[in-house]
Amino acid sequence: MSKAIFEELKTAVVQMDEDLTRRVAQTAVEQGVDACEAVNRGLVKGMEVVGEKYELEEYFIPEVLLCSDAMNAGIEVLKPHIKKEAGVTPYKVVIGVVQGDTHDIGKNLVKILQEAGGFEVYDLGRDVPLEQFIDKAVEVRADIIGMSTLMTSTMDNMGTVITMLQGRDLRERFKVLIGGGPISQSFADTIGADGYAPDATSAVRMARELVGS
Ligand code: B12
């Protein structure tokens, strides 16, 4: 039953159909389908297909943007129904997409699931000047700095933030968690990040591991 709904959500995103995505998401809620799974196994799977179509030049930027609007419409319906973990210590995460990169769909998903997982998330947005990650983390006394990027040309900015932390004698104060399309565990090791996660669900798990909760 849920599987059919996930498939419908995926198809609605790929078909750029905002209204249909919203309606199917609503049906999922009414049928008691787990909202987090509907996001991960429906909407995100749809965006993955969109990514493939973009790479095959079947879809171009306008189509991709319509698909992402459809995904966001589904998220809007599902988000209030994502089960929040109660009673956990509110560890703080400062998250953003590094300078030079405006891809924020993945970062937004990580933020939603981390909030649902009980974290207090400060979202800096996209194309974030590198100093801002550190300044905000100091201001709110964050536990984790989370950085996202989808482009190889901006990956090295993550390492620059770590170097800046060292330069300001703050490296030990924050855990650094990174992710995004071109990022891997070996890249995380190379730049000295504390953690890497390939998707939003494991981003929550990894964030918990980093703060020992
Ligand atoms: C959607 C998209 C766009 C949209 C972005 C809309 C938006 N608001 O984000 C638009 C159309 C605007 C766009 C623009 C561009 N794009 Co684009 N885009 C994509 C596309 C098709 C999908 C990305 C996506 O949203 N995936 C779905 C999400 C759910 O997945 P995700 O981002 O990977 O996130 C998950 C994980 O990575 C992880 N994660 C993500 N962040 C974080 C952070 C942390 C801390 C953790 C732990 C985990 C984590 O969890 C997420 C959820 O599961 C990809 C192709 C692809 N296959 O990825 C190209 C792609 C990323 N784009 C690309 C390019 C080149 C561009 C442009 C430069 C194109 C141009 N010539 O103008 C511009 C960028 C301008 C800029 N400076 O930023 C290239 C990058 C190539 C490279 N290797 O550097 C790609 C790979 C396409 C390609 N093969 O050429 N793009």
- Per-residue pLDDT tens digits for 70-123: 999 999 999 999 887 766 668 999 999 999 999 999 999 899 889 888 899 999
Band of pLDDT at residue 1, cut at 50, 70 and 90: low
Same domain, 77 and 96: no
Residue 43 lies in a domain: yes
For residue 161, the domain's CATH number is 3.40.50.280
User: Domain tally for the chain?
Assistant: 2
Residue 86 lies in a domain: no
Q: Please give all residues whose beta carbon lies within 6 A of any atom in ligand 1, as ranges.
A: 44, 47, 50-51, 54-55, 61, 64-65, 68, 100-107, 109-110, 146-148, 150-153, 177-182, 197, 199-200, 203
Residue nearest to atom 29 of ligand 1 (CA): 106
For position 86, what pLDDT does the model report? 67
Last residue of a domain, one of 56, 81, 106: 81
For position 88, what pLDDT does the model report? 64
Same domain, 120 and 197: yes
Q: What percent of the chain has pLDDT over 90?
A: 88
Same domain, 111 and 30: no
For position 89, what pLDDT does the model report? 67
Same domain, 148 and 104: yes
Ligand 1 center–CA 151 separation, angstroms = 7
Write the pLDDT tens digit of every residue in 31-46.
999 999 999 899 999 9
Q: Up-side HSE of residue 202: CA atoms within 13 Å toward CB?
A: 9
Last residue of a domain, one of 57, 81, 105: 81
Band of pLDDT at residue 209, cut at 50, 70 and 90: very high
Last residue of a domain, one of 22, 52, 81: 81
Band of pLDDT at residue 2, cut at 50, 70 and 90: confident
The pLDDT of 178-203, averaged and rounded, is 96
Same domain, 25 and 107: no
Is the pLDDT reported for residue 11 higher than 80? yes
Average pLDDT value over all residues in the chain: 95
The pLDDT of 146-159, averaged and rounded, is 98
State the residue range of the domain holding 106: 92-211
Range picked from 38-42, 52-56, 185-189 for highest mean pLDDT: 185-189
Range with lowest mean pLDDT among 82-96, 148-162, 193-207:
82-96
Residue nearest to atom 20 of ligand 1 (CA): 51
Residue 87 lies in a domain: no
Residue 165 lies in a domain: yes
